[in-house]
Structure 1
């Protein structure tokens, strides 16, 4: 894509050019400007390829703008698009650095083609402008060739300009080449030195011996997996060191072998300095896991000792690196383990505090409590049924005794009091004893009176105790009704009923207490169940936290234990495939390599010296000019410019005379064996279209060089005559790309 900026003070011209160029493929109008200042600002920002610019603009004209662009922005090519074709405008534009000069009446197709050619590095000028450029070029000593637009086969003028050439430089040619004996002596001396050095090296070089051994690195993966019951699985895996696509562990080992630390340790093992110990040669064998090592020594035993010391030092260094790596990993694992242990302790403490506060020990406790409540309710129902049964039996006994419920209660209360029963027994015994005494004695007998007094005292205490128990005075009739320990048969039966009643009432009381207690327990458990149910979800969450912390802690602890037994992935263990060898033959100096190197070096020296001799013989021959030919030679040379111009101007017909004249000049120049002392590639201004006519296909395909030669006849009298010569390669194309025989060289 060719990026173009249009610069013109007239908007109509800018828009017309935009309309022409924008639709063209690979053309892009990036900006337009109405004066030089804005154009330079746009160029600095947009960095275009081509700038189409007018000469006459306000403030900063086109010539000054072109000069500033060519000086400041390298790579930006400027084409002047002007209405003027005068010498002054053209020369100023060319001197400012314009790559092309076109008129505003240039057709659209030619303008597009000119932009493309200038972008490719050519210069482009309007047909009328080319002649003005040619007229301004000096005729001597440079060579100018102009092709005019004089037939229908040429679309526009082309100029090949060979200017700015100065033949005034003075050179000192060598008039006589060196002799063959000179180069032969150099050849003999250089080969003698070469072979002497080689033989001396083989003779005096102290032999060295090389001990070789090889190690291998594991390529398999190492993995360990452990199942933790009720926790999970803990695994540890150490990947193969060769799994990386961008790193080879053998390169690390190669670097370690060559480090100063390993070399110093190896040298100290055999009591040798590091410099004298030397450096090993390490080779990584491709497509394997092997590393081949070798080290040199002055003797076979010394070479083997060096190899063993180096291998031992490498293993020690690897062990140290593994310990450092393992220590760092263990430190990180211990830190992680401490963190997980702390988290586990915190989770357990939260669970314990929650269980203490809520008295909820497990998630099953609410269900167990609900089952207990159900069992208590069932038991309460059974006790209630039993109590009703006992109550019915008690009521039947009361009916049989003829007592009311309150009287039965009083009787049972009196009967259940030990003190009252004791008074009652004493009263019965005193009454029985009194009856016996009355049967023996009279009423006024002292024994009867004493017994009667004792009976009365006991009766008083009995009434008092009964009154304290019942809360009301007790009469003798009531005592007789409540007495359940009569000695007669009816009293015995009544006592039996009272015993049953007492048992029934006791059982009834027990069942009532049991029912009350069961109801209390049921109420308490129901309240507790409601509380536990409310805290059950939180307890489950805390237990999950504890289990998770336990799993993480167990996994970390297991991984820490496994890591202690695993090998390092960065420094895998190495296996000694072949032990350090005991060399039998020296490896240096190697006579075969020395002889081959000396032979090829001698061959190269021979070739080089022969090339120098051949170059001196063919390119540095002396110049001899015949006295009677100097003037003609000079005349032929001076007329060469006119000859070439005549050939190219008469391209429509074959000018055999001109070709013959040029050929004569060329042959005359070749006879002199000219010496080339200076090459100068001239500036080439080439037209857009190659001629298509038959003889118009003569074309300056290239200018190989412009040579200035000096002639010297070998004595000082002729060295002051210096003649300028030109050498030009001219060719014509006959349509066959493979035919290069039409390119001929002319020196004149």
Structure 2
């Protein structure tokens, strides 16, 4: 190869490299133009931006318009529930038995259980939704679910229910509320029933214990005749009082006996003879006979003073005295019932001044006899009371123990019954009281679709689209200000291409 041929080859190669380099530079310029954009005063770009805006606006407003035209109207009814925060207490005093108390804590007293969360879960339970839907002849899927919102640090529960019309939304909210309260009442009733069932066996045991103790007390009362321990204490008191009275009677009887004996010694007779003498001398016939006997005794004494025992006058006087004496003794026997020997011991002479003493002797003897009879009667009663008291010592102690057991059993039984009854009043122990703060409202405007919100969203999207297109239109000046060297390189590129060409 010659030297000239060797020189032409680089030239040919240089001519071939210039178009390839130009194409590469043009490709780089087109990519750079797309990324950096054109001049801000280049109106030739406007059709492209208008097309982008039209496409974006169609993409934004077509779904919104379709949604607003085709979406059905939905209405929302709202209601509010509140849980009072105070507890409740009840106390029942049973006379001579005891006290039964019932106390329900505040629903917010426990930090581990939240009644509002419990009721929120209950409001969304399937059985409540099914019951509410059934009351409106609907299925649960068509009825829908409620939107439940709890207000922090309060007992408020806000409930929202959606319907096809204002009346339908209000009816659905009312149906849900009715089903909720029905379920709450059912749960409370079931709780009370479970409590009663659990306590019924214990109450039955208490009742059987009371009946068994009562039967034992009745049997002991029938066997002993002792009704109560108080009756035994009264028996002991009466026995002690009777013993004291017997002792007093014995002392009084001793005094009367001593007085009677003193008079008997003084009068040399006893009370019975003294009473007979008083009776005899109170009889006029006997008095006349004793006077006759005295006259005959005087004549006999005079005859004996003058004559001997065998003298006829002495014998006549003796016979007259004996006749008068026999008549007097016969009358005395008739009046007193005493025999001859007793009458001979009796002083048949006129009592005279001894009458008062004999009367006192008879009176004292009568009093002594009365006291003796009373003392004997009281002593017999005392012996009977002492024997009964001794016999009733063990039964009285047993009866007192049984009555104490009966009182305890009765108190336990009555307290259990009282607690069972007061638990029926405490209905809000597990499920606190809930009240309707706001009734289901009747909506005046549809809650869905929200036209203003949709239009606002479309306007905001359109605004952001315009802002994006504006930034795209002005991106070259902005980039030139942010990256100055990039602009200088781009401006120098055409000159290099011309030089290469």
Fold-level similarity (TM above 0.5): yes
One of 478, 493, 501 as aligned partner of 2:341? 478
Matched residue of 1:213: which SS? Answer: strand
Q: Deviations over 1:588-611 (max 9, x none)?
A: 2234665798899xx9xxxxxxxx
Map residues 548-697 of structure 1 onto 2, 5 A cutoff: 548-591=408-451
Q: Distance in 2 between matches of 1:387 and 1:461?
A: 32
- Indicate yes or no: 2:167 matched with 1:313: no
One of 225, 235, 241 as aligned partner of 2:91? 225
- Indicate yes or no: 2:157 matched with 1:296: no
One of 247, 257, 260 as aligned partner of 1:391? 257
Inter-CA distance 317–374: structure 2 relative to 1 (3 Å threshold) = closer
Matched residue of 2:79: which SS? Answer: strand
Structure 2 partner of 1:350: 216
Q: Distance in 2 between matches of 1:367 and 1:558?
A: 34
TM-superposed deviation, 1:586: 1.9
Inter-CA distance 340–426: structure 2 relative to 1 (3 Å threshold) = farther
Structure 2 partner of 1:74: none
Structure 1 partner of 2:490: none
Q: Distance in 2 between matches of 1:575 and 1:381?
A: 81
One of 374, 387, 403 as aligned partner of 1:514? 374
| Equivalent residue pairs, number | 379
Q: Distance in 1 between matches of 2:391 and 2:58?
A: 114
Inter-CA distance 248–494: structure 2 relative to 1 (3 Å threshold) = same
TM-superposed deviation, 1:333: 5.0
Inter-CA distance 533–581: structure 2 relative to 1 (3 Å threshold) = same
TM-superposed deviation, 1:355: 4.8
Is 1:326–1:568's contact at 8 Å kept on the other side of the alignment?
A: no
- Indicate yes or no: 2:80 matched with 1:214: yes
Structure 2 partner of 1:547: 407
Matched residue of 1:489: which SS? Answer: coil
Inter-CA distance 357–189: structure 2 relative to 1 (3 Å threshold) = farther
Question: Which ranges of structure 1 fall in alignment gaps of 5 or more residues?
Answer: 1-179, 436-451, 604-748
One of 314, 319, 323 as aligned partner of 2:189? 323
Is 1:427–1:459's contact at 8 Å kept on the other side of the alignment?
A: no
TM-superposed deviation, 1:376: 3.5
Structure 1 partner of 2:113: 247
TM-superposed deviation, 1:295: 0.9
Q: Distance in 2 between matches of 1:538 and 1:389?
A: 44
Matched residue of 1:340: which SS? Answer: helix
Q: Distance in 2 between matches of 1:384 and 1:570?
A: 78
TM-superposed deviation, 1:200: 1.6
Higher percent of residues as strand = 1
TM-superposed deviation, 1:189: 9.4
Matched residue of 1:587: which SS? Answer: coil
Q: Deviations over 1:713-735 (max 9, x none)?
A: xxxxxxxxxxxxxxxxxxxxxxx
Q: Distance in 2 between matches of 1:415 and 1:211?
A: 126
TM-superposed deviation, 1:273: 5.2
Of the structure 1 ranges 295-304 and 554-563, higher mean CA displacement relative to structure 2 is found in 554-563
One of 325, 350, 368 as aligned partner of 1:489? 350
Q: Deviations over 1:193-233 (max 9, x none)?
A: 78644432221111111111111123322122234444333
Map residues 87-486 of structure 1 onto 2, 5 A cutoff: 196-267=62-133, 269-270=135-136, 272=138, 274-332=140-198, 336-357=202-223, 369=235, 371-403=237-269, 411=273, 466=337, 474=339, 477-478=340-341, 480-481=343-344
Q: Distance in 1 between matches of 2:403 and 2:343?
A: 72
Q: Distance in 2 between matches of 1:584 and 1:312?
A: 23
TM-superposed deviation, 1:582: 2.5
Inter-CA distance 340–507: structure 2 relative to 1 (3 Å threshold) = same
Q: CA RMSD in A?
A: 4.8
TM-superposed deviation, 1:287: 2.9
TM-superposed deviation, 1:545: 1.7
Q: Distance in 1 between matches of 2:58 and 2:69?
A: 16
Matched residue of 1:212: which SS? Answer: strand
Is 2:275–2:358's contact at 8 Å kept on the other side of the alignment?
A: no
Q: Distance in 1 between matches of 2:201 and 2:147?
A: 43
Is 2:80–2:438's contact at 8 Å kept on the other side of the alignment?
A: yes
Q: Distance in 2 between matches of 1:365 and 1:306?
A: 73
Q: Distance in 2 between matches of 1:283 and 1:310?
A: 15
Q: Distance in 1 between matches of 2:276 and 2:140?
A: 120
Q: Deviations over 1:436-494 (max 9, x none)?
A: xxxxxxxxxxxxxxxx9xx99x959968x95xxx8xxx3xx43644668x7x733x767
Inter-CA distance 353–273: structure 2 relative to 1 (3 Å threshold) = same
Inter-CA distance 245–363: structure 2 relative to 1 (3 Å threshold) = same
Q: Distance in 2 between matches of 1:500 and 1:594?
A: 137
Higher percent of residues as helix = 2
Inter-CA distance 274–482: structure 2 relative to 1 (3 Å threshold) = farther
Is 1:214–1:292's contact at 8 Å kept on the other side of the alignment?
A: yes
